[in-house]
Amino acid sequence: MDKKGELPALTQLEQIRHQFISVIAQNMGLYNISETNGRLYGTVLFAERPMTLDEMSDALSMSKMSMSTGIRSLMEASMVERVWEKGVRKDLYQTEQDWYKSFTSVFVTRWREATDNNHQAALQALKELRRLLLLCEREEHTEMIHMDIDKLEGAVEYYEWLDEVILIFESGKIFDWVPRRPS
């Protein structure tokens, strides 16, 4: 502590970074990223220069293998990129500087997969219900089948709409309506 009883600026800086990294790590589940990889992301984000796997391992007191797996996951999400530095033999990594690119990449990848899976499941269920309807002889069962068909047709419409939303992000048109903010 200094003469006024305050923590030195460097200690305060580290506490602020730690708090921010903790919150980011807790919320990474939204992007299908583990909390551990969220802490890795925060560590790389606040690094003063690109980091090697060894440096990440030391900073987080975790194995190099864990760092390698984590970095791969973050790279797949376009949140981290490999960079080259003259005279450095080891791979170096830094966070993607364009947060908008990272978000849209993660959003599109995660939502596209889920939407496609749900859309295909709804179409398959509709096909099977229509086949069942042709075979069904009991009126109370045909009514139930018709109700399910109506619900699934609504689901198909929704997934087709959601696909259009995803295309807006994928194409970058979202920035025509909601412009990026200068940093």
Nearest by Cα to 107 from 79, 65, 145: 79
Taking phi over 0 as left and psi of -120 to 50 as alpha, with beta for the rest, 25 belongs to: alpha
The 10s digit of each residue's pLDDT in 117-164 is 999 999 999 999 999 999 988 888 999 999 999 999 999 999 999 999
Distance CA 71, CA 65 (A): 10
- CB atoms under 10 Å from CB of 153, counted, come to 12
Nearest by Cα to 45 from 69, 12, 23: 23
| Residue 93 φ/ψ, nearest 5 degrees | -135, 145
| Residue 47 φ/ψ, nearest 5 degrees | -65, 145
End-to-end CA distance of the chain: 34
The 10s digit of each residue's pLDDT in 14-23 is 999 999 999 9
Note the pTM of the prediction, 2 decimals.
0.73
Average pLDDT on 2-17 reads 81
Cβ proximity of 24 and 41 under 8 Å:
yes
CB within 8 A of 79, min separation 6: which ones? 33, 41, 95, 96, 102, 106
Distance CA 126, CA 17 (A): 51
The 10s digit of each residue's pLDDT in 29-49 is 877 889 999 999 999 999 999
CATH number listed for the domain at residues 9-96:
1.10.10.10
